[in-house]
Amino acid sequence: MSAAALRNAAPAVADGPPEETCYALAGHSGARVVLHAAAARSVVRKTAASPAHNERLLGQIDKQRHLARIGIPFPKVLASGIDDGGCAFFDMAYVPGRTLAFAAANSIPFASGAVFRAVERMLWLFQACRGAPIGAGAFHDKIGAIANTAREYALGDGGLADAIGDCAERLLALNWEDIPDSPSHGDLTLENIMLDADRNVVFIDCDCPFVSSYWLDMGKLFQDLSGHWCLRRLYLSQDRAVQRANAIEKLTQLESLFRPLVEREDPGLAERLHQLAALSLFRALPYTGERAVASFICARVRRILER
């Protein structure tokens, strides 16, 4: 969790000892995330939004534990269970630091080499477990489902509805064959890569996506590096043009590190990196809740595919 996120977090009702201070943290999945700050030990509790979401959260717990066991740096899972409302939860160690998204958006220096090595190692581990190709139908179904859900944001806005439909058509027209199944992080955005107080890389918020592949992990990473998803607020602010330009330069520098890595390790992935980044952006549509952000996504999807 970044220092800025902590400063902006809203105090929550404490359910722990009186000496605890609790802060509700922001997230995109609908899960409740609360920092329980205490002098002895601070922990972060993640709780499913409802019992209907328990299966997804339980999968995240198992995945985070497994990835940590094979040497990928994740916060340690300390405990898990079901709360009084029937919702699954788990507690993990609190890691003070900042995300790469925050550092890039605010032009804060960070050790790009350490980030590169951590992602390179994760990619190598997942690539070593490469399995059979995922059926193209899984991608077609996902794109169609996203388009149908996203149209709710476009009610009464014909231009946005057309943009969503156009993006869906462009994505459906692409080749989704031969994408390998493999272990994956599941949500490898710059918002989920942290630098701790000692500038060590820590991954957070792994997920269990509709399909699992390191190809989609790299698509998620390039959703930020070339799609600029982590800068969406800067794009929507008219008076932050200089900050946006500096942040884009940071992302361009990271892209220049990671693109040769992908080209070297998996030329097939490199050839379709643009469409995987565009798909990752498109997948964010149902979670935006804002027409301005939805319009931003559509514009960036078209820009990536046209490149």
Give per-residue pLDDT as tens, 214-268.
Answer: 999 999 999 999 999 999 999 999 899 999 999 999 999 999 999 999 999 999 9
Q: Where are the alpha helices (DSSP H) in the chain?
A: 3-8, 54-69, 100-105, 112-127, 136-150, 158-172, 214-225, 232-236, 241-265, 267-271, 273-283, 285-288, 291-306
pLDDT per residue over 43-80, tens digit each? 999 999 999 999 999 999 999 999 999 999 999 999 99
Answer whether 34's CB lies under 8 Å from 21's CB: no
pLDDT number for residue 197 = 85
Q: How far is 76 from 97, CA to CA, in rounded Å?
A: 15
The pLDDT, as a whole number, for residue 27 is: 63
Q: What is the pLDDT of residue 86?
A: 97
pLDDT digit string, tens, across residues 97-132: 999 999 999 999 998 999 999 999 999 999 999 999
pLDDT score of 17 = 46
Taking a C-beta distance cutoff of 8 angstroms, is the pair 151, 161 a contact? yes
For the segment 19-34, what is each residue's pLDDT rounded down to a tens digit? 678 888 766 667 899 9
Amino acid at 283: R
How far apart are the C-alpha atoms of 56 and 85, rounded to whole Å? 17
Yes or no: say if 301 and 162 are a contact pair by the CB < 8 Å rule: no
Task: Determine the residue type at 32.
Answer: R
SS3 52: helix
Return the pLDDT at 13. 39
CA distance 249 to 99: 17
Neighbouring C-beta atoms of residue 47, cutoff 10 Å: 20
- Domains in the chain: ranges and CATH: 3-94 (3.30.200.20), 98-306 (3.90.1200.10)
Q: How do strand 201-203 and strand 193-196 relate by DSSP bridges? A: antiparallel
Cβ neighbours around 200 below 10 Å, total: 14
Q: Which two tokens stand for residue 158?
A: 């014909």
Phi and psi for 118 in degrees, rounded to 5? -65, -45
Rounded to 10 degrees, the C-alpha dihedral 137/143/149/152 comes to: -150
Kindly tell me if the per-residue pLDDT of 3 is higher than 60.
no
Residue 1 pLDDT greater than 50, yes or no:
no
Average pLDDT, the chain: 91
Note the pLDDT tens digit of each residue in 178-188: 999 999 999 99
User: How many whole angstroms separate alpha carbon 165 and alpha carbon 5?
Assistant: 35
Q: What is the mean pLDDT of residues 285-303?
A: 93
